[in-house]
Copies of this chain bind each other. A is one copy, B any other.
Amino acid sequence: MEMNLDSVKVVGFDADDTLWVNETYFRETEERFAELLESFETKNKIDQELFKVEMQNLDLYGYGVKGFILSMIECALQLSNHTISNDTLQEILDVGKKMIAHPVELLSGVEEVLQKLENKYRLIVLTKGDLLDQERKLEKSGLSKYFHHVEVLSEKKEENYQNLLEHLEIDVNEFLMVGNSLKSDVIPILNIGAKAVHVPFHTTWAHELVSKEKEKSTNGYLKLESIKDILDYLKH
């Protein structure tokens, strides 16, 4: 695909599953959760119910690990018909804490890309989720030094992006967003008139999935297999 990115001056990067691995740890934790509850339900049913509880709680808890742990506990009480053992609940708490304390694993090519772009563009991080958790991951990642600004948003909708660009005095024509989620990093960005690069991660949370139709009807963004390929389109 041909795309002219000459007007770009500011590049925004999503963080989870764009700069570093994230969804994988949620999937591993879901596996463990299903094992802990295997005497009550099938793995499929447990996955479905956990997702349902998460979605019911999303408005209240928002994104991030703490809400996920609370939803696992609620789901365990429900699925076991209030017969889950205290030991299992303690293990759910422990698994959750392990997720928060997990080392940060950078995705391939990320550091090289940031190094090559940092002198030609203003680089920023735009992520959603838990504030403390995202700040901590950025700190652990060693990538802070490349970014002029880091913003943790409670949602990634058009309005959130618009307010942020206004606040940072960034012209939409000069803004390029790079991320793994069509729903959060690409579609709202195209809708406000900025540019977007989609770098899919092998695993996508069901909440972030868009329909095949929606995917097909979304045009005008650049899809790349690896973040490294962005160097073919930007100055460095």
**A residues lining the B interface (CB < 8 Å):** 60-63, 66-67, 69-70, 73-74, 77, 80, 82-87, 89-90, 93, 96-97, 100-101, 130-133, 135, 149, 152, 154, 167
Contact = CB atoms under 8 A, between A and B. Distances in A.
A-B pairs, 4 with minimum CB distance: A62-B132, A82-B86, A66-B66, A132-B154
Given A131-B131, A131-B152, A149-B167, A89 B77 contact: yes
A101 B60 contact: yes
Contacts of A135: 154
Interface of A is mostly: helix
A83 B86 contact: yes
Nearest to A93: B74
A89 B80 CA distance: 13
Contact of A86 (B60, B80, B152): B80
Nearest to A84: B86
A58 B44 CA distance: 35
Contact of A66 (B61, B80, B86, B101): B61
Nearest to A85: B82
A87 B82 contact: yes
B100 A60 contact: yes
Contacts of A131: 62, 130-131, 152, 154
A86 B77 contact: yes
Nearest to A68: B66
A60 B130 CA distance: 11
Contacts of A152: 131
